[in-house]
Structure 1
Amino acid sequence: MAPDPDRPGAFYLRVNDSDQSHVDTGDPYRLEFDYIRHLTYVLDALPPGPLRVLHLGAGALTLPRYVAAARPGSYQQAVDIDAGLIALVREVAPLPKRVKVKVRIGDAREQLAAAPGDCYDVIVVDVYAGHVTPAHLTTREFFAECARVLRPGGAVLFNAGDGGEQRYARAIVATLGEFFAQRCLLAGTTVLRGRRFGNLVVGASTVPFDEPAIARRAAGDVFPTGFMGAAESAGYAKGARVNTDGDAVASPAPPALLEVRKRSRGAARP
């Protein structure tokens, strides 16, 4: 982990010479990376009160810190396959004592399969092996497990890296649609228009999202951000393939590492 030269107590999590995450140990609301802010826009639009959240992919535990601050009393569990990374985060940027997050080491899908049914309000899928999301976390069978584990009306939030024609991201939206009729999509406007590679946050649920609330947050982001509600997301996924365990592929690798997860200076508080 590398110290943020502009902010004491903040760090970048660097993997393979690329900044993968950012955490501010003194301010959980300071979210440097745009896709993390986009995830919070959907989270904040869910019904008020504590949440039960399963984070598949732990990173620097940035999002769990945010949830703990924004939703006091929430139960959270994070899963990551990299024990060394988790040990490093705990050493350099330990969680405050008031933040209760159980961390399990293991494969995200195996840990999901071991979870009881109707257990979580939100499942966040933000798993990268190197610079790609493994194929087995993008399939109909995987999302069937998500649907089993979620409580009624729960939501899946998926961080997808893609660019150009966005065939991968469209397939994610289409595959989620097998179980969740309500979907939404957030990304930087240049990413959403296919002009550059970047992160697209996909939300999926069986109940409608508060689209006006999410759209307002997107409009107020420090960088131009596009939002698609249920109708637009359905059109976005029209004709896209539905991934299965037999034919799914990993997410596309970024064309240049410097294009992946560009740092977004500043953050809006909820």
Structure 2
Amino acid sequence: MPAEIRDGDRPGSFVLWLDGRAQSEVDLADPTWLGFDYMRRIADVLDVAGPVGEPLRVLHVGGAAMTLPRYVAHTRPRSGQVVLEPDGSLIEEVRRLLPLPPRSGIKVRPVDGASGIRAVRDDAMDVVVLDAFAGGAVPPELLGTAFLEQARRVLGEGGVLVANVSDRAPFPVVRSAVAGVRALFADVVVGAEPATLKGRREGNLVLVAGADLPVDALRRRAASGAAPYRIFAGTPVLDTFGGGHSLP
């Protein structure tokens, strides 16, 4: 099913639909407005990933309507960003109907994440954002050891991996992802909304991996946002999302 861009509920916003699902929402006049809860959770991580307002080097695996790259370009001017998006027709449609701002610093490469990340230099990025879906799920190869090793390679010493994972209780996908991430990164944090944690519905869980993660800052944001969510760090990550086996 081809990509479709529709008007959003918010005046001036647009929603990108793929495979019958709403994938991204953009307000061209206000890139800081994020219509999807999980994107606000990722933005919380991006906001505390370095000094406020300072540029970041960000690799986005998955682009859709470029909502998060636009957010970073606005909140952290002069950031260097690379987007790996394999759907060339989608890229062209977004460029035509939802053009990126001039001199945004966003470079879009028409390549899949598993292939594209191998071309990125060692220690070239401060943050890797994994937000790629096919048929409503993260492609398994993007949660496997081979890809995670590449993510660890391209991140600098203080680099952070942020992954959006769709799952539902008892969270088999997240458990596998946690197992794979823990083998390569010092710390792992998981953010999730209450309804998903209680098993009421499938939802988006956000995994954060790195060293010396700003857990307290993330907890403050999780508690004070428009859609509060829970942060798991340390032993509670294993208590709730442990027991999985990393993917190849």
Counterpart pick for 1:226 among 225, 230, 234: 230
Distance in 2, Cα, partners of 1:113 & 1:85: 22
Residue 7 of structure 2: aligned partner: 3
State TM-score, norm by structure 1: 0.86
Residue 109 of structure 2: aligned partner: 104
- Counterparts in 2 of 1:235-250, with a 5 A limit? 235-244=239-248
- Counterparts in 2 of 1:38-77, with a 5 A limit? 38-48=41-51, 49-77=54-82
Unaligned runs of 5+ in 2: none
SS in 2 for 1:196: coil
Residue identity (%): 37
1:175 Cα deviation (Å)?
0.7
- Counterparts in 2 of 1:5-44, with a 5 A limit? 5-8=9-12, 10-44=13-47
1:212 Cα deviation (Å)?
1.3
State TM-score, norm by structure 2: 0.94
Is residue 201 of structure 1 aligned with residue 206 of structure 2?
yes
SS in 2 for 1:65: helix
Counterpart pick for 1:150 among 155, 159, 174: 155
Distance in 1, Cα, partners of 2:160 & 2:238: 17
| 2:178 and 2:242 in contact (8 A); partners too | no
Counterpart pick for 2:176 among 171, 177, 185: 171
- The residue identity in structure 2 corresponding to 1:211 is V
1:152 Cα deviation (Å)?
0.7
1:173 Cα deviation (Å)?
1.2
Distance in 1, Cα, partners of 2:82 & 2:32: 19
1:228 Cα deviation (Å)?
1.1
SS in 2 for 1:127: coil
Tell me: higher relative CO, structure 1 or 2? Use CA pairs within 8 A at least 6 residues apart. Answer: 1
What count of residue pairs does the alignment treat as equivalent? Answer: 242
SS in 2 for 1:118: coil
SS in 1 for 2:78: coil
Q: Deviations over 1:9-62 (max 9, x none)?
A: x10001122211101100011000001000011111112121100000001100
Q: Deviations over 1:108-151 (max 9, x none)?
A: 11110111111101111111112121111111121111111111
Is residue 141 of structure 1 aligned with residue 146 of structure 2?
yes
Q: How large is the RMSD of aligned CA atoms in angstroms?
A: 1.2
Unaligned runs of 5+ in 1: 245-270
Distance in 2, Cα, partners of 1:90 & 1:105: 13
Residue 189 of structure 1: aligned partner: 194
| 1:45 and 1:209 in contact (8 A); partners too | no
SS in 2 for 1:160: strand
Distance in 2, Cα, partners of 1:110 & 1:90: 23
